[in-house]
Structure 1
Amino acid sequence: MTPRTPVRALTCATALLLALHPMALSARDNGAIVGWGSQVVVRASLQQELVSLSAGGGHSMGLRADGTLVAWGDNREGQCQLTSATPGCIAVSAGLNHSLALLADGSLRASGDNLYGQCELPTPGSPPVAISAGYFHNLALLADGSLCAWGDNIYGQCELPEPNSGFIAIAAGGVHSLALREDGRIEAWGSNGDGQCTVPLPNSGFTAFAAGANHSLALRSDGVLAAWGANDHSQCLIPFPNEGFISLAAGSRHSMGLRQNGSLEVWGDDTFQQLAVPQWAAPFSTIAAGFNHCLAISASGPCQAWGANSLGQCLVQEPDPEFVAIAAGYEHNLGLRADGSILAWGYNGFDQCTLEGANTDFVAVAAGGNHSLALSRWGRVQVWGCNDDGQSTMPDPLALFTQVTAGYEHSMALRVNGSILAWGNDGSGQCEVPAPNQEFIAVAAGWYHSLALKADGSLVAWGDGAFGQCELPDPNQDLLAIAAGDGHSLCLRADGSILAWGLNSVGQCDVPEPNADFIAVAAGRWHSLGLKADGSVVSWGDNSWDMLPAIQPDDDVVAIAAGGFHSLALRGRSQTAIEPGPRGLPEFAPVVIRSVTPNPFNPETQLEFDLRQAARVHMRVYDIAGQLVSWQPAGPYAAGLHRIRWDGLTRSGMPAASGVYLIQLDDGRGHVAVSRATLVR
C-alpha cells in the first residue's frame, strides 16, 4: 500500500535563528531548530545516546538510554506526539502514519492515524512485553507468550494463529503479520498475495525476522538470512555471502542486513537512494527500515538516516549546527548556518532542496511553494527548484539585493536602492509592484499577494485581495515588520501590537489579548505566530496539525517561523542577561556583548563586547524578519574589552527603519553573541 498524498505547506516568513552559547540550555540546544505541526524537527542533543530506532512511513523514532523518546518527520496525523507522554519507555514502533510505545509498567501508548482503530489500545489480560506496528495494524507480545492484535483486519492480519501461546517475537508488515514460536518456527498470516506468508522450508531454527510491505525476512541461528514474498525490486535477493548476519530490517520494497562485523548491507528498491549506505559511519550497531528510508546507529553513537526525506524523516541534525535563519516552504525547509552554508530538507520533487554550486557565503534564505531562494553576502540572488511559472528564473541576475522572499509561485527581492523586483506567477497581479517603486525596506510574499514596507513605516499591498488582505491598515504608519499567509496579512506596530486582516476562516486574524509586547510575527497558511519580548510565543488560527505551540517565557524562544501546517522556533537566551563569571566572562563563552548604548537609539548605537582570545570579529545586523540589514567586517581584536558601532544604516547606505534589530558578533571560529537594539526615528 502507498502512503497518503502529503499535505504541502507554504510559509511567507523567514525567521532569524540566533546561534547563542550555553546558558540554562545545553550548547547543542542553542542555534538549533525545533518544530511542531505537520513536520517535526528534533534538536541534535535529543538524538544523542539512542539505543533503538523505528522508521515509519514519513516519520522516524528513537529510544534513548534514559527511557525518553524522540520523533521527527511527518506529524500530520500526530504520529510524533508520543514524546512528551512516554517517560520510562522500553520499546517503540512506527507504523505507516501512527506510532506505538511500550512503557516499563507494561502500559501502551499510541498516537497518529486512527482510521482503522490502530490507536485504540486494548486491555489484554497479560502485560505486553514487545510491540510491532504495521501499516494500519499492531501486534503485541504478552508476558504469557500469547499475542494481541488490533487495527485493520481487511486481510486477516489480526486473526491470530492457534494455539495462541508459546510465542517469543513479533513483526507487523504492510498487511501481514509474523510471529516466532519458542521452537524456532515462524507463523505468518494476513495477505499472501505475493507469497509473503509462505515461510520457506525448513521452517525451523529462526531467531529473528522482519516484515516489509509485501515481503518477509528471517534470520537463522547460523547467521544466514531467508527472504520470501514480493521480489519486484529484488528485495528478496540476499547479497553474497549470505552469512554472518546478526540483525535485519524490512522497508516497503527494500531490505537491510547487519553483519557481525558492523557492516551493513541494503538491497532492493533504490528509488530514493535507500541503498546509499553511509559507509563512512560504520561500524553500525542498530538498524531500522521505513517505508522508503533507512536509519542506523553507528558504533560511535550518532544516528544516520538516508533515503526518502519528503517530510524530514531523514533530518538528523549535526551537533552544534548554529543556525542563524530558517525558511519553511510548501513541503520543504531551508536552514542557514552561521558559516553561510545552507541545509535543505523535505520534499525534493522539484529539486528545491538541491542547491547547485558553492554552498557558502549566504546571508538569507526563502522557501516558496516548490522553489527556494538564497541571498549571498555579495548581494546576488540564487534561485532553484520548480520553474513552471518562471519563479526560479532570476530576471536580473547582475543586480544587487538586500532581501529575498518567496510566495507560492512567485518570488521577490529588494534591491539595494530600495526598489523591488518581482517575478513568477502573476495571475493575481502579485508581481506588479505599485509605483513609485522606491524607498522600500522590507518585503513579504504571500500565497497570491505581496506586501512591502516603506522607510516611513507605511505599508503597500498588491495582488489577490479577495479576502481583503490587500486593504491597508488605518492608520498606515509606524509599522515595523510584515508577514503574509494564504489570504491574510500581519503587521507589527512600533508599539508592540500586531494588526491582522484578511481571511479569518479559522481565527488566523484574531490576535489574542493582551496584544502587546510583540517583537516578531510569522504567518503560516492559515495560522499566525507572535513572539513576545519575554521569549514566549503566542499562536492563533488553524490548529489542524497541532502547529499552535504552548511556549512560555522560560522556554527562551528568540525567533519563530510559520509554515503551511507547521511551526518552528529557536530556543536560547540573550547574552546581555548573563551574569559574568569569576574571570569576567561566562564559562565557555568566547565572545560576550556587555552592553548596547544607547538603547533605544537614533541614529547610531555602540556595542561593548569582551573577547576571551584574539579574533577577527564581524558584525551582522538582522531585522526581526530574519533579513540581513547590515554587515561590517572588523578587527582583528586582541583579547579583552572592545567597542564597535552601528550607524543605523543598511548595507546600501540607506537609513534603517524604526524597529527592533538583532546585532550579532561573530569571532570567525563559529562563536557568536547576539543582542537586541531598538531604533526609534
Structure 2
Amino acid sequence: MEHGSLNKARLQVKKWPQDPIAAGRRHTVGLTSDGLVMAVGDNKMGQCEVSGWRDIIAVTAGNVHMATNTGNVHTIALKLDRTVEAVGWSKDGQCEVTDWYDIVAIAAGWRHTIGLQSDGKVVAVGRHQEGQCQVNHWNDMVAVTAGDWHTLGLKADGTVLAVGNNRYRQCEVSGWRHVVMVAAGYLHSAGLQSDGTVMAVGSNKHGQCDVGSWHGIVAIAVGSNHTIGLKADGTVSAAGWNTYGQCNVSDWHDIVAVAAGCAHTVGLKSDGTLVAVGDNAYGQCDVSSWQGIRMPEIIT
C-alpha cells in the first residue's frame, strides 16, 4: 500500500514498523535517510544529544503528561545491527538497553522502554509498578507501543494484548480484532483496523477517543490527550485536547507519517520535510528547516 492513494484491499498487519519521526513531551526527533538523527526541544536530561548516533533505522521518544511537572524523558533508537541506543532520563532504568540484541522494533513510555525481538518476544526495562513491563510472556508479536503507564502489543493475528495501569480501561483491548496498528497515550489506547477505521478506549475527557467516524486511515499516532489519523489521501484527522493547537492539522496534505507528543503533532511530507503544530515552548516544533527525513519503512 502506498500513501496518497487508498489500496482497495484491506490493510494488512505489518511486521516490524520502523518510525522515522518521534515526538516526546517537549522534544521532536527525526531520522534522516542516511541513518543520522536530529532532535530539537527540551534537552534538560540530554534527550536531544543524538548527534553522534549512526546507522539508525528507527526512533522513538518517551512522553509524559503535561500535568506532570517534569521534562524528564528519554530518546531511544534502533540500530541497523539490531542493538539499541538510549539517551535522557534513566532514573527507573529506562535507558538500560545496552545488552539488548536482535531487536526489530522499539517503543518508549514515560518511565519504561519496550523492545520487540525478531522471534516475536518482548523485553522491557524501567518502571514496572503498574505492571507495564510485564511482557516477558508475550510471543508472536509484530509491533509494540508504550503509553505513560501501560503497554500494548499487536499480535500477528491482528489481536492486541495490554498490561499496566487500567484505571480508565485503557487496557481493555482483548476484544479487538483485525488490528494492524496500535498506539498508546497517557490514559487511552487506539487501534487501526484493517478496513481503515479506528477504535479507541480509555479516558475520553478531551474527546481523544471520538474516532468512531474516521475512515480511510492508514496510520495513527497518540499524544497525551489527542489522537491523530493519517488518511490514505495524505491528509490528517485529529481528535482530543487542542489547547496548544496540536489538533490544527486540517490544512496538512501530502503527509506520509505522523507523530504525536504531549501537546504537539508532527507530520512527515513525501519530500522529506516536516510540519509541526502545537506547544512550542522549547522549540519542539522548529523543524521546518529539516530535510532528508527517511520515508516510513516496514521490515518483513
TM range (shorter): 0.7 to 0.9
Alignment of structure 1 residues 392-471 onto 2, 5 Å: 392-394=133-135, 397-433=137-173, 435=175, 437-471=176-210
Note if contact 2:40-2:48 (Cα within 8 Å) is conserved in structure 1: no
User: SS where residue 113 of structure 2 aligns?
Assistant: strand
Kept in 2: contact 1:332–1:346 (CA 8 A): yes
Deviation at 1:558, TM superposition (A): 2.4
Q: Provide the rounded CA distance (Å) in 2 between the counterparts of 1:313 and 1:15.
A: 8
Report the CA distance between 1:399 and its aligned residue. Answer: 1.8
Distance across 2 between alignment mates of 1:498 and 1:426: 29
Q: 1:556: which partner in 2?
A: 292
Q: Normalized against structure 2, the TM-score is what? A: 0.83
Tell me the equivalent position of 2:56: 323
Larger Rg: 1
Aligned 8 A contact 2:31 2:57 in 1: yes
Contact 2:190 / 2:200 at 8 angstroms: preserved in 1? yes
- 2:259 aligned with 1:522, yes or no? yes
Q: How far 1:312 moved relative to its partner?
A: 4.1
| Contact in 2 for aligned 1:501/1:509 (Cα 8 Å) | yes
Letter in 2 for 1:545: Y
Cα distance change of structure 1 residues 337 and 472 upon mapping to structure 2, 3 Å threshold: same
| Letter aligned with residue 311 of structure 1 | G
1:247 match: none
Write out per-residue CA displacement over residues 405-449 of structure 1, whole angstroms, 9 at most, x where no aligned residue: 0000000000111100011011111101163x2211100001110
Say how many residue pairs are matched: 267
- How far apart in 1 are the matches of 2:254 and 2:48? 36
CA distances 1:310-335 after superposition (whole Å, capped 9, x unpaired): 324876615xx110001111411111
Q: Deviations over 1:38-70 (max 9, x none)?
A: 13xxxxxxxxxxxxxxxxxxxxxxxxxxxxxxx
Q: 2:128 aligns with which of 373, 376, 387?
A: 387
How far, CA to CA, are the matches of 2:139 and 2:174 in structure 1?
Answer: 20
CA distance in 2, matches of 1:363, 1:526: 28
The 8 Å contact of residues 503 and 509 in structure 1, kept in 2 or not, is answered as yes
- Kindly report the root-mean-square deviation, in angstroms, between the aligned alpha carbons of the 2 structures: 2.3
Whether the 8 Å contact between 2:30 and 2:38 is mirrored in structure 1 is no
Q: Is the 8 A contact 2:127 2:133 kept in 1?
A: yes
Q: In the superposition, relative to structure 1, how do residues 538 and 314 fare at CA in structure 2: closer, same or farther (>3 Å)?
A: closer
Which residue of the other structure, out of 198, 207, 225, is the alignment partner of 1:487? 225
In 2, the alpha carbon distance for the partners of 1:480 and 1:398 equals 26
Separation (CA, whole Å) in 1 of partners of 2:49 and 2:61: 16
**What residue in structure 2 maps to residue 345 of structure 1?**
87
Task: Name 1:278's counterpart in structure 2.
Answer: none
Residues 2-53 of structure 1, C-alpha deviation per residue, up to 9 Å, x if partnerless? xxxxxxx946xx98846x4xxxxxxxxx2111110113xxxxxxxxxxxxxx
Q: Give CA-to-partner distance per residue, 1:569-622, whole Å, 9 cap, x none.
A: xxxxxxxxxxxxxxxxxxxxxxxxxxxxxxxxxxxxxxxxxxxxxxxxxxxxxx
Partner AA of 1:374 in structure 2: G
Matches within 5 A, 1:257-296: none
Separation of aligned partners in 2, 1:404 and 1:420 = 10
Greater relative CO, 1 or 2 (CA 8 Å, sep 6+): 2
**Structure 1 residue aligned with 2:36, among 32, 35, 48?**
32
After superposition, the Cα gap between the structure-2 partners of 1:361 and 1:478, relative to the gap in structure 1 and judged at 3 Å, is: same
Cα distance between partner residues in 2 of 1:509 and 1:355: 33
What is the CA–CA distance in structure 1 between the aligned matches of 2:271 and 2:50, rounded to whole Å? Answer: 30
Which residue identity is paired with 2:126?
A: G
Maintained 8 Å contact 1:332/1:353: yes
CA distance in 1, matches of 2:29, 2:61: 9
Aligned residue identity for 1:425: N
Aligned-partner residue type, residue 317 of structure 1: G
Question: 1:551: how far off?
Answer: 2.1
SS of corresponding position for 1:403: strand
1:501 to 239, 256, 259: 239
Unaligned stretches of 5+ residues in structure 1: 1-8, 21-29, 40-73, 75-309, 560-623, 632-681
Q: Residue 115 of structure 2 is aligned with which of 374, 378, 384?
A: 374
